[in-house]
Amino acid sequence: MKPAPRPLRHEDHGLLLGQLALVLAPQARTLPVAVSLLLVLLLAWRWLLWRRRAPLPSRWMLGTTALLVLLVACALVWQDGGGIGRELAVALLGAFVILKLLECRALSDATLVTQLSFYLLLTLYLSDQPFWLALYSLAIGAWVLRNWLLLHHPEARSRLAIWPLLGRMALLGLPWALALFVLFPRLEHPLWQLPQSAQSGTTGISDTMRPGSVGQLIRSPEIALRAEIAGPPLPAAALYWRALVLWEYDGTTWHPSRLRRQQLAPAAGVAGSTAGIDISITLEPSRQRWLFVLDRGQALSAGAEAAITADGEFMARRPVEQRIRYRTRSTLTPPAQALPPATLRLALSLPPGNPRARALAAQWAQRHADPAARVQAALRLFAAAPFAYTLAPPPLGAEQIDSFVFDTRRGFCEHYASSFVFLMRAAGVPARVVTGYQGGEYNPMANHYVVRQSDAHAWAEVWLDGRGWIRVDPTSAVAPSRIEQGLDAVVGSEAADWRPSRQPGWLKDLRWAYEGMVYTWQRWVLQYDHARQQRLLQALGTSVGAGPLLAAVLGMLCLLALVPLWRRRAPADPVGAAYARFCAALARHGCTRAPAEGPQEFAARASARLPAAGEAIAAVSAAYISLRYGDLPADRHAQALASMRAGIRRASAALRR
């Protein structure tokens, strides 16, 4: 006959409800607000039932609730364009685990909820893997294991030291975890690609530029990249993180040249390139193909699998869907090169319109025979006229260049870069727009630069005979502090309070320490690939391949696992262990227990021999006899054990007097 399932106690339901709330809490980082509210409502419903000790809902009510959850999911799928992203899939799993908790009556149901809690913990890593999440999931995983043990063995609460037991289990598994982590590096590319909703896509610099496109990024505090530069820190004015070159202008928007973008060549390796500045860049996911380099990139590490265009843009083989790390070599000196006729025509082409700007540029061309003098004339215009750098420029008219240069005269980098390139082309000077990031905060604790989306920038390059493409940043003529000191130095009160440079010194130091820990976690854990494994093995001074090393380490760990079998001993008994310590303390004061002497007889003899501790000795012996030979319930068992340990402390204190 099959035994009846063991019903759950009220405190068991509380444990399951608490652990599920803790497991689902970090999901709010990535789930839509509506989905998070739905999960909160379901959890609140279950909490109210538990708080009031009300009966669980009927199957009909649970079925209706499940149908409503599915309808909400279908509505979100329809709103998202018909695709089920990973966030919605995780939300559905969480919702149905809560519904399972609403019908949880027996131990088997509680076991299933606990197992699904571990699956929900793993889903936390589908979006990103910050180091605090690893600490959080380890702590919550240990808590779930504790609850699982208490569900199956309620008496363990008074008979076992649960946390020391879990600590010993973790220490036994730690060598295996470290060995497997070192010997099995992260795959260069994932085995499969998880679906991702459109709203969760991460973007940064776009491949087009129009008024407002860069300004949208300036208000974002998200990190775009981190960079380690070999040697001393560079001045802020030298930190131009180059991404794209834009050639074609239609009167509103700048676009790259499709023909030049198709002229790809394999990127040179760092090991075989010429001298330059070595930089290691950790690029955040952008879902774009372009890779950032400092100023003029010369080479890229082979692991990045990138090609270089005719304009010096580095393009990855596939969009950057996850955080990547690559090494580059750059130079701050532009190479002198010839300008082919096709490129010259592209660098001088302009759409019709903007007659006032064309007339001004024609005056410069007549007045200055040297193209470099025309460049300086444009910079003097921006510096002398009442231009202003602002995050809230007024709207431009139909003739955008004329409207900005002669009317509004208020804007940010893309306004100045676009107007400058137009004026240069109208004056007969080949010019182009370059987009990327400028500046970055230097973390003195971790020795790297942090470049945020708010550092997005656009500048210009002009071609001068004998010198090649020369960078010209017209923003520096209007607001030189923007280039030398960063965004806050020029926008002032327009900058939001989230800007890191607006924080007090002590908070900035804490933030740098946290940023350093995050960067270390990313470098040595999240980006531990085959190349880093090889560098680690070389640093350890071993020339053995990964295969033989794997066999040797696993063999050593297997031998280590046999040690507990060789030194097998009876499981620790807290009552017996406490009484043994008590007898050892009395033996140190000349009262040794005989092998066949009972606890009551030994207590009488010890009290006569050591009268100062007689009362405590009697209390300890009485508690020991009730624990060893009595049939105490679980709550009184714990009280008696605590009383026994307190008596041992009193006896020890009396003997020391």
> What span, in angstroms and rounded, lies between the C-alpha atoms of 146 and 166?
8
> What span, in angstroms and rounded, lies between the C-alpha atoms of 36 and 356?
55
Q: How far apart are the first and last CA of the chain?
A: 63
Q: Encoding tokens for residue 485? A: 């000191």
Going along 334-465, which residue ranges are E strands?
Answer: 388-389, 410-411, 431-438, 441-443, 448-452, 456-464
Q: With H, G, I as helix, E, B as strand and everything else as coil, classify residue 112.
A: helix
Q: With H, G, I as helix, E, B as strand and everything else as coil, classify residue 338.
A: coil
Asked if 98 and 46 touch (Cβ cutoff 8 Å), the reply is yes
Q: Encoding tokens for residue 582? A: 């008590």
**Nearest alpha-carbon partner for 456 in 235, 212, 254:** 212
Task: Tell me the backbone φ, ψ of residue 615, rounded to 5 degrees.
Answer: -65, -45
**Nearest alpha-carbon partner for 280 in 313, 311, 303:** 303
| Annotated catalytic residue, options 13, 415, 457, 637 | 457
Instruction: Classify each residue of 403-431 as buried b or exposed e, where b means 16 or more C-beta atoms within 10 Å of its C-beta.
Output: bbbeebbbbbbbbbbbbbbbbbbbbebbb
128 counts as catalytic: no
Residues in the chain: 657
**Beta-strand relationship, 448-452 and 223-229:** antiparallel
Q: Return the amino acid letter for 564.
A: P
> What span, in angstroms and rounded, lies between the C-alpha atoms of 308 and 330?
13
Crossing angle of helices 546-561 and 530-539, rounded to 10°: 70
Is the C-alpha dihedral spanning 469, 474, 475, 479 positive or negative? positive
530 counts as catalytic: no
457 counts as catalytic: yes
Task: Tell me the backbone φ, ψ of residue 205, rounded to 5 degrees.
Answer: -60, 130
DSSP assignment of 480-529 = HHHHHT-THHHHGGGS-TT-GGGS-HHHHHHHHHHHHHHHHHIIIIIT--
Q: Return the amino acid letter for 410.
A: R
Q: What is the DSSP letter of 524?
A: I
Q: Tokens 């197992």 — which residue?
A: 115
Cα 58 to the chain's mean position, in Å? 42
> What span, in angstroms and rounded, lies between the C-alpha atoms of 436 and 238?
13
**Nearest alpha-carbon partner for 625 in 650, 610, 643:** 643
Going along 100-180, which residue ranges are E strands?
Answer: none
Instruction: Classify each residue of 233-258 as buried b or exposed e, where b means 16 or more C-beta atoms within 10 Å of its C-beta.
Output: ebebeebbbbbbbbbbbeeebbbbbe
Cα 479 to Cα 239, 387, 411, 453, distances in angstroms = 16, 9, 11, 19
Cβ burial of 289 (10 Å; 0-12, 13-18, 19+) is: middle
Neighbours of 263 (CB within 10 A): 12
Q: Return the amino acid letter for 398.
A: A
| Annotated catalytic residue, options 473, 488, 591, 637 | 473
> What span, in angstroms and rounded, lies between the C-alpha atoms of 239 and 229?
11
Phi-psi region of 472 (alpha: psi -120 to 50; beta: other; left: phi over 0): beta
| Annotated catalytic residue, options 413, 415, 455, 488 | 413
**Nearest alpha-carbon partner for 292 in 417, 474, 431, 435:** 435
Residue positions annotated with a catalytic role: 413, 457, 473
